[in-house]
Amino acid sequence: MLTVKNLEVSYGAIRAVHGITLNVEAGELVTLIGNNGAGKTSTLKAITGVISNVKGSVELNGENITKMPSDKIAAKKMAMVPEGRRVFAGMNVRENLEMGAYLRRDSEVQQDMEKVFTLFPVLKERLKQQAGTLSGGEQQMLAIGRAIMAKPQIILMDEPSLGLAPIVVESIFESIKNINLQGIPILMVEQNVFLALNVADRGYVMENGVIAVEGMSQDLLQNEMVQRVYLGMED
Amino acid sequence: MFLQQLINGLMLGSVYALIALGYTMVYGVMKFINFAHGDVFMWGAFLGLLSAKFIGPNFIVVLLLTMLLTGVLGVVIERIAYRPLRHAPRLVVTTSAIGMSLILSNLARLLIGSETYPIPKLLAVKGFHLGNALINTTQILTLVTAVVLMLLLQWFINGTRYGKAIRAASEDSETAGLMGISMDQVVMVTFFIGSALGGAAGLLVGMYYDAVYATMGFSAGLKAFTAAILGGIGSIPGAMIGGLILGVVENFGASVLSSYRDGIAFAVMILVLLFKPGGLFNAFIYQKRV
Ligand SMILES: Nc1ncnc2c1ncn2[C@@H]1O[C@H](COP(=O)(O)OP(=O)(O)OP(=O)(O)O)[C@@H](O)[C@H]1O
Ligand SMILES: [Mg+2]
């Protein structure tokens, strides 16, 4: 589905990602975890074409999409839930969802909006509200709903739990799992390692721009280094 | 007297508003001041003059042709002067805009000279009494045209797919790209519309004063820019309201201090920048980031 090989990302002369390789297969929920500054956002931005100073290759269903501009990549049906949500604050909830479906010309847009409302009923109540005035959790739901509206082949999410209360985080993760169970593969960047590994099938642990460990979620949860560094367990 | 000043002010203001929209829309999408826009307005007046000569007395067709030609001029300017600098710092783009402004105004002086040209009559001028104020058909036409164009713009921006894409791109171009919105397209449509509105204003001003000349873009451009700042640069309703307010204030001000007419607009600009730098409708009020 999504195959990333030897991806390097640089900002000017500074390199943030030093050649990482990862993949997401059909139906999978994969998490990319790591501390602040590990290079997770840089990786997602390189995959979605937001940054172009990259080396290595990104393939979507066998098609090379490396260095394509982000609007062309969106047309390949890759959707992104950016770090910090980035809803269009001056537009209302409905308009934000419409923007997610910007490239669609089919007749099922309205139906998919109903699906988003089933997943996040609060959005339906807030249809006319300016997105900038929603709570953090509602904005996160809107950002995820907006991605669903693209009818994507795959969704990339950057820290959907950022800045949310623990109880909201759990419900957001539950929704993400639901979306994935409906057949959409997801690559989710997270710092909430325990919860992320609990919903994900597989995980990659990123440190200083490289993949330090990878494996099935239950194995990573048992991994001694992961337990010590990311789950704060002492032995 | 009051009513007369109000009518004159609203009429002038509606033209400022049309021009101000070009500044504010381009700023919204690209975050730089297109200092060549006043010259686009002036070229719009000349294109209006040519259209009027070519088409004859049919205001609607002349207006549409003027807007089409001026819109294309704006798109061409963007291709030449701004697109190659899309990722350059804003100061560089602004400098390019000033260069473009010099080229356009000097080109006008070269091609057109320093004469003042009348615009062929597109409709019979008749005067009416409205209470104790006098209003003529050109004034009514100017006001009605400006208001209709602004309503159309509001509908386009809020009600159509491209319009919403422009709003999304103005707020957050990176995220708009992730939605599949092409920045090149957004910028092109923005320049076309902004310049077409400037062209319409050029035609209206030319008709009202029955005069078109190569330097007419300078003070109108600066005043419209002031109107955009007053309304809150980047805000479309702001540019409309800002233009109307500026027109009215300028007219009332000039009736008291007639020799300071042009100074009034800049006094307004200074006051806005001192006391309400975001303008009346701060377009970026929601743009706080986590
Ligand atoms: N625009 C930029 N210019 C220069 N350096 C940058 C830029 N964006 C990121 N970096 C650097 O790249 C490195 C990786 O940053 P990145 O945002 O990818 O980390 P992250 O893993 O997403 O961190 P966080 O969990 O805090 O979001 C950091 O050292 C950061 O300072
Ligand atoms: Mg990050």
DSSP A149-206: TT--SEEEEE-TTTT--HHHHHHHHHHHHHHHHTT--EEEEES-HHHHHHH-SEEEEE
pLDDT for the residue numbered B289: 37
Residue B161 has pLDDT above 80, yes or no: yes
CB atoms within 10 A of CB A82: 22
- A121-130, A141-150, B259-268: which range is least confident on average? B259-268
DSSP β-bridge partners for residue A7: A20
Rounded CA Rg of chain B: 18
Q: In terms of Cα–Cα distance, which of B266, B58, B110, B171 is closest to A90?
A: B171
Q: Are A140 and A164 in contact (CB under 8 A)?
A: yes
Spans of all domains in chain B: 2-216
**How close is the nearest chain A Cα to the Cα of B168, in Å?**
6
A147 Cα to the center of ligand 1, angstroms: 23
Q: Are A188 and A157 in contact (CB under 8 A)?
A: yes
Residue B4 has pLDDT above 80, yes or no: yes
**A17-to-A6, A24, A188, A206, B181 alpha-carbon distances in Å:** 9, 19, 17, 10, 27
Rounded CA Rg of chain A: 17
Same domain, residue pair A148 and A57: no
Yes or no, beta carbons of B286 and A86 under 8 Å apart? no
| Alpha-carbon span A166 to A32, nearest angstrom | 20
Residue B265 has pLDDT above 90, yes or no: no
pLDDT for the residue numbered B287: 47
A51 Cα to the center of ligand 1, angstroms: 12
pLDDT for the residue numbered A207: 94
pLDDT for the residue numbered B290: 32
A93 Cα to the center of ligand 2, angstroms: 25
Global pTM reads 0.91
**How close is the nearest chain B Cα to the Cα of A155, in Å?**
11
> Which residues of chain B from 171 to 200 reach within 8 Å of chain A, CB to CB?
171-172, 174-183
pLDDT grade for B284, boundaries at 50, 70 and 90: low
Same domain, residue pair A112 and A178: no
CA-nearest residue, atom 28 of ligand 1: A37
Ligand 1, pocket-test mutation among A7, A9, A11, A86, most atoms within 8 A of CB: A11
The stretch B18-37 carries a mean pLDDT of 95
Phi/psi at B86 (nearest 5 deg)? -55, -35
The stretch B85-95 carries a mean pLDDT of 93
Residue B193 has pLDDT above 90, yes or no: yes
pLDDT grade for B266, boundaries at 50, 70 and 90: confident
Domain boundary among A101, A120, A152: A152
Closest Cβ–Cβ partner in A49, A50, A132 for B286:
A132
| Alpha-carbon span A139 to A133, nearest angstrom | 9
CA-nearest residue, atom 27 of ligand 1: A36
Which of B162, B171, B179, B236 would you mutate first to test chain A, the one with the most A CBs within 10 A?
A: B179
Q: Are A88 and B172 in contact (CB under 8 A)?
A: yes
pLDDT for the residue numbered B283: 63
Q: Are B189 and B166 in contact (CB under 8 A)?
A: yes
Closest residue in A to B171 (Cα–Cα): A88
Tens digits of residue pLDDT in A95-132: 999 999 999 999 999 999 999 999 999 999 999 999 99
ipTM of the complex: 0.94
| Strand duo A210-216 + A29-34: pairing | unpaired
Same domain, residue pair A171 and A72: yes
| Strand duo A14-24 + A2-11: pairing | antiparallel
Tens digits of residue pLDDT in B198-251: 999 999 999 999 999 999 999 999 999 999 999 999 899 999 999 999 999 999
Six token digits for residue B194: 């902004």
Six token digits for residue B173: 């171009």
pLDDT for the residue numbered A76: 96
Residue B286 has pLDDT above 80, yes or no: no
Q: Are A149 and A115 in contact (CB under 8 A)?
A: no
Ligand index nearest the alpha carbon of residue A45? 1
Closest Cβ–Cβ partner in B167, B177, B288 for A71:
B177
Same domain, residue pair A60 and A167: yes
CB atoms within 10 A of CB B159: 9
Residue A180 has pLDDT above 60, yes or no: yes
Yes or no, beta carbons of A74 and B165 under 8 Å apart? no
Same domain, residue pair A100 and A146: yes
* Residue B86 identity: R
| Strand duo A78-81 + A2-11: pairing | unpaired
* Through-space distance between the first and last CA atoms of chain B, rounded to whole angstroms: 53
Domain boundary among A134, A152, A170: A152
Say yes or no: CB of residue A85 within 6 Å of ligand 1: no
pLDDT grade for B7, boundaries at 50, 70 and 90: very high
Q: What is the count of structural domains for chain A?
A: 2
**How close is the nearest chain B Cα to the Cα of A234, in Å?**
33
Give me the domain span that covers residue A181: 1-77+153-235
Same domain, residue pair A161 and A224: yes
Yes or no, beta carbons of A88 and B177 under 8 Å apart? no
pLDDT for the residue numbered B172: 94
pLDDT for the residue numbered A234: 64
CA-nearest residue, atom 5 of ligand 1: A11
| Alpha-carbon span A155 to A24, nearest angstrom | 11
Six token digits for residue B121: 């009559």
Yes or no, beta carbons of B178 and A85 under 8 Å apart? no
Same domain, residue pair A161 and A71: yes
Which residues of chain A neighbour B287 with C-beta distances below 8 Å?
89-90
Closest Cβ–Cβ partner in B164, B174, B181 for A50:
B174
Dihedral sign for Cα B237, B239, B244, B248, please.
Answer: positive
Domain boundary among A102, A133, A152: A152
Yes or no, beta carbons of A102 and B287 under 8 Å apart? no
Yes or no, beta carbons of A99 and B174 under 8 Å apart? no
Most distant pair of Cα atoms in chain B: their distance: 59
Tens digits of residue pLDDT in A37-89: 999 999 999 999 999 999 999 999 999 999 999 999 999 999 999 999 999 99
Same domain, residue pair A73 and A160: yes
Which residues of chain A neighbour B180 with C-beta distances below 8 Å?
71, 74-75, 102-103, 150
The stretch A173-181 carries a mean pLDDT of 96
pLDDT for the residue numbered B127: 87
Percentage of the residues of chain A whose pLDDT score is greater than 70: 99
- A1-15, B74-88, B128-142, B204-218: which range is least confident on average? B128-142
